Amino acid sequence: MAQQHSCGCCSPTSAAPAAGATTPETTETTCYCPIDGVLGTVSKKYAMRIVAILGAAGPTRYGELQDRLKSASSATLSSHLDELADAELIERRSFDEVPPRVEYSLTPRGRELETRLQPLLEWASDETS
Amino acid sequence: MAQQHSCGCCSPTSAAPAAGATTPETTETTCYCPIDGVLGTVSKKYAMRIVAILGAAGPTRYGELQDRLKSASSATLSSHLDELADAELIERRSFDEVPPRVEYSLTPRGRELETRLQPLLEWASDETS
DNA sequence: CAGCATCCGAACCGATACTG
DNA sequence: CAGTATCGGTTCGGATGCTG
């Protein structure tokens, strides 16, 4: 998962080998590209939308999410929720009652993401032609 | 491409018949979801990185891009550049010389995107697990 | 140097059906 | 209600090889 490479977009001097140049292969610098981390998760088709919904509406049930993301099947939705929960961007809260109820909400970290996502989303809807 | 639908993440759901539950401030106007537009393009594997590179380094040649995005093959890179150019986020400038030279740079619109992308990227590298 | 064409595996996502 | 299992279609993207 935490793939390492030198993409040059995050670390400027990626071409230069580490000190000593003991490694002739010039394999990888210690550049970790953010895109491979959180941003990889975020680029999932519905990930941003889920974050946006949870950010705007607060704790939301599974069914309502599915309702809002009409084109997403339950399988797809589940996998997205899993991944977001794994990344600790959202939190899953399951209530012990019948019928079952599960609510998803943003973690503090997810809220930070949402903050940074907003301008992007707003701009995107403006630029939409 | 510019698919239209109501996802509920950008404007309250309108499609919900919800007997009696007439949403208070429902902008039932056709909801255009930004994710399907620019953000769709942006979620391409290297799109964000390209924008980030061009933003940080200014006009950049094809070869250098390929150099920085080591894992991207030329075919992949080309298709990304095409798509970004189509979306008018980047500009392709071809010089009439030998050997051929082509430079890519951000359009004003691309620069706006880059602006909104920065906080996200910065945060992502911090949050890197 | 820049970049398209092709092949092909991998990932993604929707539909359906079924469980706790 | 909240999922999981499975299947199949579609897209993505990496490798290679070839043009201008």
B123/A116 Cβ within 8 A: yes
Q: Is the pLDDT of residue A68 over 80?
A: yes
Window 92-111 of A: residues touching B by CB (8 A cutoff) are: 109
Same domain, A85 and A124: yes
Residues A122 and A67 in one domain: yes
Q: Specify the higher pLDDT residue, B17 or B126.
A: B126
What CATH number should be reported for the domain holding residue A70?
1.10.10.10
Lowest mean pLDDT among A4-8, A31-35, A87-91, B72-76: A4-8
* B 4-63: CB under 8 A from A: 5-10, 13, 15-16, 32-35, 37-39, 42-43, 45, 48-49, 52-53, 56
Which of A44-48, B26-30, B76-80 ranks highest by mean pLDDT?
B76-80
Q: Give, rounded to a whole angstrom, the gap between the first and last alpha carbons of chain A.
A: 36
* A54 Cβ neighbours under 8 A, 6+ residues apart: A60, A90, A104, A105, A106, A110, A114
Torsion of CA A65, A66, A67, A69, to 10 degrees: 90
* DSSP type of residue B95: E
B94 with B108, same domain: the answer is yes
pLDDT higher at A66 or A34: A66
* B22-26 LR contacts (CB < 8 Å, sep 24+): none
Q: Exposed, middle or buried: residue B51 (CB in 10 Å: 0-12, 13-18, 19+)? A: buried
Residues of A (88-117) placing their beta carbon closer than 7 angstroms to any atom of strand C are 99-100
SS3 B47: helix
Provide the domain limits for residue B6: 1-31
Q: Tell me, what's the pLDDT at A129? A: 56
pLDDT higher than threshold 50 for residue A97:
yes
| Average confidence score pLDDT of chain A | 77
Banded pLDDT at A2 (limits 50, 70, 90): very low
Check whether residue B12 and residue B63 sit in a common domain. Answer: no
Pair of tokens at residue A96: 């012990």
Assess whether B83 and B47 both reside in one domain: yes
Q: Same domain, yes or no, for B27 and B38?
A: no
Asked whether residue B40 falls in the same domain as residue B59, the answer is: yes
Do A88 and A45 share a structural domain? yes
Count of structural domains within chain A? 2
**Strand, coil or helix: what is A105?**
strand
Alpha-carbon distance values, B73 to A9, A108, B4, B79 (Å): 17, 37, 32, 10
Is A113 within 8 Å of A34 (Cβ atoms)? no
Measured between CB atoms, which of B32, B112, B117 is closest to A125? B32
Angle between helices A108-127 and A47-57 (to 10 degrees): 110
| Residue B73 and residue B10 share a domain | no
Same domain, B84 and B116: yes
% of residues, chain A, pLDDT over 70 = 71
A116 DSSP 8-state letter:
H
**pLDDT tens, position by position, B40-52:** 888 888 999 999 9
pTM: 0.78
Q: Measure A77 CA to nearest chain B CA, in Å.
A: 13
Q: Say yes or no: B60 and B22 in one domain.
A: no
What percentage of chain B exceeds 70 in pLDDT?
71
Question: Are residues A77 and A88 part of one domain?
Answer: yes
Query: B3, B36 in Cβ contact below 8 A?
Result: yes
More confident: B60 or B128 = B60
